[in-house]
Amino acid sequence: MTAALDAASVVVPAIGGPAPDFELSNQFGEPVQLSALRGQNVVLVFYPFAFSGICTGELCEIRDNLAMFEDANATVLAISVDSKFSLRAYAAQEGYSFDLLADFWPHGGVASAYGVFDADSGMAKRGTFIIDAAGTVRYSVVNPRGQARDLQEYRAALAGLGQA
């Protein structure tokens, strides 16, 4: 299959459709399964790599505004193709109290299920999916390479969910 065909066949989960379930290890090696979080809203934040500039800025902004997510009964799950060992060091260095999930093996498997894996570069794109308490995708955005996401967009999307 060519890269062009692969790119054309990428499907991002539809707004109003079910969020693909998955289980990944967090930075401590603990399993985190999306379907186990039913009953609360979930914000999936796919990012290219730990310790990179834009990614660190985005995740620090989430860290510094975590109350906004908690007030919306939302759990933040940040996902990259890094190993759990890298993610543990990254979380410790930056003071992240939310889960960083390792989509390490199969490499980018969950990012692929969400249509945000860039096979040419071997990394996740900057995709965000907000999933309601019933497991339905209510918001999604995929930003171009090098462009940070807007925290205010999260705020607006979360406001539309209500409390679970």
73-126: per-residue pLDDT in tens?
999 999 999 999 999 999 999 999 999 999 999 999 999 999 999 999 999 999
Q: Name the burial class of residue 150, with classes exposed (0-12), middle (13-18) and buried (19+) by CB atoms within 10 angstroms of its CB.
A: middle
Residue 80 sits in a domain of what CATH number? 3.40.30.10
Task: Report how far residue 109's alpha carbon sits from residue 94's, in angstroms, rounded to the nearest whole number.
Answer: 26
**Residue range of the domain that includes 86:** 37-159
Residue 129 within a domain: yes
Whether 82 contacts 113, CB under 8 Å: no
pTM (predicted TM-score): 0.91
Residue 44 within a domain: yes
Which strand (E) or helix (H) includes residue 141? strand 137-143
116-156: per-residue pLDDT in tens?
999 999 999 999 999 999 999 999 999 988 899 999 998 89
Residue 130 within a domain: yes
> How crowded is residue 115: how many other Cβ atoms within 10 Å of its Cβ?
18
Whether 97 contacts 66, CB under 8 Å: yes
User: Does residue 55 carry a catalytic annotation?
Assistant: yes
Residue 7 within a domain: no
Residue 72 within a domain: yes
Number of domains the chain contains: 1
Among 19, 45, 55, 123, the active-site one is 55
Residue 164 within a domain: no
Residue 21 within a domain: no
Q: Is 68 left (phi over 0), alpha (psi -120 to 50) or beta?
A: alpha
Residue 27 within a domain: no
